[in-house]
Structures are given as structure tokens and as C-alpha cells.
């Protein structure tokens, strides 16, 4: 069974640009969560999707958005990039309807550098 | 508010026990987790404990939960160099109709000979 796949693994952008990151969950998993990981802040919850609906959202500005497709693949978008957006973005999938009552399966992340 | 705190670094000698500590704020958390992140990789679940338990043991891992003090610890017996990684504590908290996970900043464990 393939794991959670995130693309791209690494990318470099400049301030003001926008970026789209992709996540393919484990086959059969319908819940996808996104986290931002930075050395100073640790893991910060961005949002969670289930069956194409955003069910939960963290405390991030509206520049951060996401969506989920009917095949459970998810994308997140960051517009008007700032230097502080440089981070490792992690996607996690769950086979449970309530993803936080069991194991989350994480991808290896997309490392974004904003210059 | 929601907050999970951990010390940032821990250095131990190979063969010794490691104890990683964590405090959390949501007394209604039903699940508490320990995840491990190796270099260049995503997080992997190590173990979890239900809030109605005081202790859980799984091979070299022992989790202790003190609900009164909202304190969680992870003990790794006979620590090996392969245990070098970042360990994240997380609590499951109820928000907006669903649970979400709040992670600590992670404890970097360095194992030296």
C-alpha cells in the first residue's frame, strides 16, 4: 500500500509569488490534514478536509487555502508569499472519519523556501 | 488556550534511558500521542495513550500520564543511536465539532556513544 505522497518535495519561490502543494493520501483514506512545520513554531495545524469539505481550520491568514478533490487528493495554496512562509508543509491522511482519534499517516513534506 | 510544551533538546548516552516530557492544557483531551520524526522524513506514530490510562508500555517505550498535572512523558529504555530523532507530543482537542491535534514544538533527542 503506497504511503502519503507529497509533491513537490522542494521548491524555491520569491516574495509575492504564489505556490500550490499537492498531497495524495493513502488509498481509501478520506481525511487529509495539513500542517506547517518551522524550527521556531513546531507543527502548526492549517486545515483538515474530509470528503471534499473543510471541517477544521487553524489560525492562519486567508492567504492560506486548500481544497480536496473527489478522489481525496488535496492541494493547498499560499498566495502573496512572505519570507515567514518558508517551512516544511506536511500532509497527513487518516482512514477514520474523526482523524484525531487514531493514527495520522504523514507524508515526507514539501519544503518551501521563500527568497 | 491550546498549548503543548516540550523541552527542545535532550542528549543521552547510548544504552541509557531517555525521558522526554510534555505538558498540555486541554483537560478534556481524550487521546495523547507521541510521534517520531527522523531526518528528512515525515512524522510516524510511536504510541498513544487514552486519557483514562496512567501508563502504557510497548517494548522499550513507556508512556506515563498524570492527568492532574496535565503531564505526559515518554521513556525509551536502552536508547540506541537509531533513536536519534525529533519526538513530538500531541493532544487531541475538540474544536468546531471535530477533534484536531495540537503538537508540541518537538524534542530533539541526540544519542551519543
Q: Tell me: the pLDDT tens digits for B7-37? A: 889 999 999 999 999 999 877 777 899 999 9
Kindly determine whether residue A56 and residue B100, on different chains, have CB atoms separated by under 8 Å.
yes
d(CA B86, CA B106): 6
Q: How confident is the model at residue A42 (pLDDT cuts 50, 70, 90)?
A: confident
Tell me which of A32-36, A95-99, B19-23 is least confident. A95-99
Query: In this complex, which of B35, B44, B99 lies closest to A101 when CB atoms are compared?
Result: B99
Q: How confident is the model at residue B51 (pLDDT cuts 50, 70, 90)?
A: confident
Q: What burial class does residue A53 get, using C-beta atoms within 10 Å of its C-beta: 0-12 exposed, 13-18 middle, 19+ buried?
A: exposed
Contact A35, A44 (CB under 8 A): yes
Measured in angstroms, the CA of B28 and the nearest CA of chain A are apart by 13
Checking if the pLDDT of A41 tops 80, the result is no
Cell of A33: 490534514
Per-residue confidence (pLDDT) for residue B78, from 0 to 100: 97
Strands (E), A1-115: 5-7, 10-13, 19-24, 31-38, 42-50, 53-57, 64-68, 74-78, 87-94, 105-106, 110-114
Q: How confident is the model at residue A97 (pLDDT cuts 50, 70, 90)?
A: low
d(CA B29, CA B39): 29
Minimal Cα distance from A10: which residue of B? B40
Measured in angstroms, the CA of B73 and the nearest CA of chain A are apart by 18
Report the candidate in B106, B111, B112, B113 with the shortest Cα–Cα distance to residue B46: B106
d(CA B111, CA B84): 6
d(CA A6, CA A11): 12
Minimal Cα distance from B43: which residue of A? A106
Q: Does A15 contact chain B (CB < 8 Å)?
A: no
Measured in angstroms, the CA of B62 and the nearest CA of chain A are apart by 18
Q: Which residues of A79-103 are buried (b: 16+ CB within 10 A; e: fewer)?
A: eebeeebebbbbbbbbeeebbbebb
Kindly determine whether residue A35 and residue B103, on different chains, have CB atoms separated by under 8 Å.
yes
Amino acid at each position: 500500500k503506497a504511503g502519503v505522497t507529497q509533491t513537490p518535495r522542494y521548491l524555491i519561490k520569491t516574495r509575492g509569488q504564489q505556490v500550490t502543494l499537492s498531497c495524495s493520501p493513502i488509498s481509501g483514506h478520506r481525511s487529509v490534514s495539513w500542517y506547517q512545520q518551522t524550527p521556531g513554531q513546531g507543527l502548526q495545524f492549517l486545515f483538515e478536509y474530509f470528503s471534499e469539505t473543510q471541517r477544521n481550520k487553524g489560525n492562519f491568514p486567508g492567504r492560506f487555502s486548500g481544497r480536496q478533490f473527489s478522489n481525496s487528493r488535496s492541494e493547498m495554496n499560499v498566495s502573496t508569499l512572505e519570507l515567514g512562509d518558508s517551512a516544511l508543509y506536511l500532509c497527513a491522511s487518516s482512514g477514520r472519519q474523526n482523524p484525531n482519534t487514531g493514527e495520522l499517516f504523514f507524508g515526507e513534506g514539501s519544503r518551501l523556501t521563500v527568497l | 488556550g491550546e498549548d503543548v510544551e516540550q523541552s527542545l533538546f535532550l542528549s543521552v548516552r547510548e544504552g541509557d534511558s531517555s525521558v522526554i516530557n510534555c505538558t498540555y492544557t486541554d483537560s478534556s483531551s481524550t487521546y495523547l500521542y507521541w510521534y517520531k520524526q527522523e531526518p528528512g522524513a515525515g512524522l510516524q506514530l510511536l504510541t498513544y495513550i487514552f486519557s483514562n490510562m496512567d501508563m502504557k508500555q510497548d517494548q522499550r517505550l513507556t508512556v506515563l500520564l498524570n492527568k492532574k498535572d496535565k503531564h505526559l512523558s515518554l521513556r525509551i529504555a536502552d536508547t540506541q543511536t537509531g533513536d536519534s530523532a525529533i519526538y513530538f507530543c500531541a493532544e487531541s482537542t475538540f474544536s468546531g465539532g471535530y477533534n484536531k491535534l495540537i503538537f508540541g514544538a518537538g524534542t530533539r533527542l541526540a544519542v551519543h556513544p
